[in-house]
Structure 1
Amino acid sequence: MMARLNFRDAFTRTRICTRNCRVWNFTRAVWRLEISPSLWHLKDVTLAWIPLKLESIRTLLSTCEWMESLSLKNCWDIESFDIKKLELKKLVIDRCIIGTDYIGFEAPNLKVFKYCGSEPPGSEVKVVAGTIEEADLDLSPMDEFFACGNELRKFIRDFFAVNVLTVCSVILQGDEPVRLAEGLRVRHLKMKIQMHPQEFCGFFWFHNSCPRPKLQ
């Protein structure tokens, strides 16, 4: 099925092909979008390589009430990702430029969260223990860890209840206290190591912060 989105202040008008309630390709578009009724029942949406306003994200979420998965990849001009309540089951924020480096939301149904960015964002995230299954936190665009320990600890603590936690080499390189005081409920810890000598700090930090992790 073919459908259209109408854009205001757009660089180009872009066609979107939807198949089985999925947006497959959406690039090089605009600032504010008007969503056609033919797209209201979308379940899986990916927006990539476009300037994107927080207002547009909120409009998309409020209009597409059936949406279960939202992926934002290499988008820019996002002031912040400040959403009061998300009904999503999966959220991906991948290498997006967020002006205030802030992510805040309450997501009672969220099962999977993936973040990739050049620094840990300021965060106020509320997920539900027993519902959230997996979090993948990737700061590899940083290349090496620098002084952002407080933000990093807060970001990791927001996902204390996940069953599966994946962390990158940069996170493991953090020179942190012996353990997270509150502890983590993580059962499966996946570490993307690069044989950096500082990774041992993160290895022991996570080992001490998780009561019974299975390491991968």
Structure 2
Amino acid sequence: MDSTSQPDMFLALPNALLVLIISFLPFKECVSTSVLSNRWRYLCHETRNISFKESDFLNHSFSNQESRMDARASFFRNIRQWIPIIQDQAFIESFEICVSFPIGYVDEIKDLIKLVVSKKVKKLSLDFSKPAWRGYNDVSRFDLIVELPECFYSLTTLESLKIFACEFDPSRFANPGLLRSLTIGWIRLTKVESLLSKSPLLKILRIKQCWGLDLTMIDGQLRELVVENSDFSYMTCSFDLPNVDSFTYSGDVISFHFDKINKIIKEVYIEFGLEGEYDEPNQSTIVEGEVLSGFLNNIRGARKLTVCPYLLQVIHECENPYYLLHPIETQHLVLRTKMHPKEFNGIRLLLNNCPNMKTLTFDILPPSFPAAFSYAGIDPRTYWMQNISYKCLRKTLKVITVNNFGGGSNELNILRYLIRSGGGCGVLERVEIYMRNTSKENQRMTTLARAAMLQRTSGRVQVLVHNV
């Protein structure tokens, strides 16, 4: 039958159901349905999910400032057209505004926030951060020009709040008792414990690129915790998280204290990329080795564990028997590594203490160390030739994945060792190698040839090479 003769099923649907359907679309696409027909022209006005994103109006290819200013003016004209539509709404389910350069429009933004607050919004996202920012040190006090209206702090219907780069005082919230998800970023964040203590239903907490953080205790019924490159005023934090499933921390090494932690955590991700690299162990790195060993011992129930190069460098320097790493329950270990000899002892230590590991992933990062023939007595040519095996290699490890494989000698040596140890009398089934993306044909062919060499010498272990 000719498809053109098929009846339009949407014609039979009531408007209320059509509004529900288009409300699941991104706001820009939801609005675009107004051109479909006369019936659809105003349906988008009934959506309870509204989003004004500057990026939908500003093209980064604009060649001059005047063009960008015109586009920004057009963006706010569009917002003004929606104000009477919002005013007619009984309530708003979700509202989002993303403006990276609010100068000249601050009063309009505040009035808009007042309006959506009056509509008892449940999910609110206010983002005034700049895409060019890479860390909180890029932010000056002159960038935080949007001050939230008083009525914002009286809102009692909030279930989800995302707030970036504005003047925000968590202690002024009167009754955030329904809050389940909180994301705060690019803010001088003080007195946040006051807000957390009033939010018994909070399940998700994300703190990103904040400074002046006077938080010393994170507790409650959280399921997900993310702390990303934020400045702790006291360089210490305690955790009482008996239900947490996902724990992510990146930033400086601080003193971690765990009162309670879930015995089974689905995923832990730790990244200390802000720490400077060092050439020789010293008292500071020994102490940090103890701190990070203690950290891993406390989150030993992590089923998936992702660690960074800095941890691989310092963890084996722990000398205090009290903090020495104990076996952990990790089944999927992800090593973000630069494949430098500085990291080899840390890799061995984790292999030895992950007796139940089933999957091992290497995320190979670009090297930042100077090329080294050896380090602290470690010769990378012979280090992985030692006849040392571990329980996971003999009993449990089935899959190895290598991302961003470059074919370097250190990469090849460790893979040969793992294939030899896990494939001989072990249970290793396959090695998945994903090639590094490069535009240089000669480099790509050399890397492919080295990966193929692993295939030829892998015995019963299947080595699969993926050319990204």
Which TM-score bucket, shorter chain as reference?
Answer: 0.7 to 0.9
Distance 1:209 1:161 in 2: 12
1:98-117 equivalences under 5 Å are: 98-117=232-251
What amino acid maps onto 1:93 in structure 2?
V
Shift of 1:172: 1.2
Distance 1:172 1:181 in 2: 12
Identity over the aligned pairs, expressed in percent?
24
- Structure-2 change in CA distance of 1:32 and 1:25 (3 Å): closer
Taking CA–CA contacts closer than 8 Å with sequence separation of 6 or more, which of the two structures ends up with the larger relative contact order?
1
2:163 counterpart SS class: coil
Q: Which consecutive segments of 4 or more residues in structure 1 shift more than 3 A?
A: 18-21, 30-33, 177-181
Shift of 1:42: 2.4
State the Cα deviation string for residues 119-144 of structure 1 (Å, max 9, x = none). Answer: 2x2111121213x2111111011142
Preserved contact between residue 14 and residue 27 of structure 1 (Cα < 8 Å) = no
2:171 counterpart SS class: strand
Counterpart selection for 2:270 from 107, 124, 137: 137
Tell me which residue corresponds to 1:211: 355
Deviates more, 1:152-161 or 1:108-117: 152-161
Distance 2:305 2:237 in 1: 18
- Structure-2 change in CA distance of 1:175 and 1:183 (3 Å): closer
1:114 counterpart SS class: strand
- Structure-2 change in CA distance of 1:65 and 1:169 (3 Å): same
Deviates more, 1:165-174 or 1:22-31: 22-31
State the Cα deviation string for residues 151-190 of structure 1 (Å, max 9, x = none). Answer: 1111222211111111011111226169945321111111
Distance 1:82 1:112 in 2: 17
- Structure-2 change in CA distance of 1:203 and 1:211 (3 Å): same
Distance 1:32 1:66 in 2: 16
Distance 1:11 1:27 in 2: 8
Q: TM-score, normalised by structure 1?
A: 0.82
1:157 aligns with 2:302: no
Tell me which residue corresponds to 1:45: 182
Preserved contact between residue 246 and residue 267 of structure 2 (Cα < 8 Å) = yes
The total of aligned residue pairs comes to: 205
Distance 2:145 2:239 in 1: 30
What amino acid maps onto 1:161 in structure 2?
G
More strand by share: 1
Identify unmatched segments of 5+ residues in structure 1: none
Shift of 1:210: 1.2
- Structure-2 change in CA distance of 1:142 and 1:80 (3 Å): same
1:77-116 equivalences under 5 Å are: 77-83=212-218, 85-116=219-250
1:163 counterpart SS class: strand
Preserved contact between residue 292 and residue 315 of structure 2 (Cα < 8 Å) = no
State the Cα deviation string for residues 81-131 of structure 1 (Å, max 9, x = none). Answer: 324x32110111111111221120211111111000122x2111121213x
Distance 2:315 2:294 in 1: 15
Distance 1:67 1:79 in 2: 19
Shift of 1:79: 2.7
1:1-216 equivalences under 5 Å are: 1=92, 2-3=116-117, 12-14=146-148, 21-35=159-173, 37=175, 39-53=176-190, 56-83=191-218, 85-119=219-253, 121-125=254-258, 126-130=260-264, 132-144=265-277, 147=285, 148-174=288-314, 176=316, 180-213=324-357, 214-216=359-361
What amino acid maps onto 1:29 in structure 2?
E
Identify unmatched segments of 5+ residues in structure 2: 1-91, 93-115, 119-123, 125-143, 362-468
Preserved contact between residue 158 and residue 178 of structure 2 (Cα < 8 Å) = no
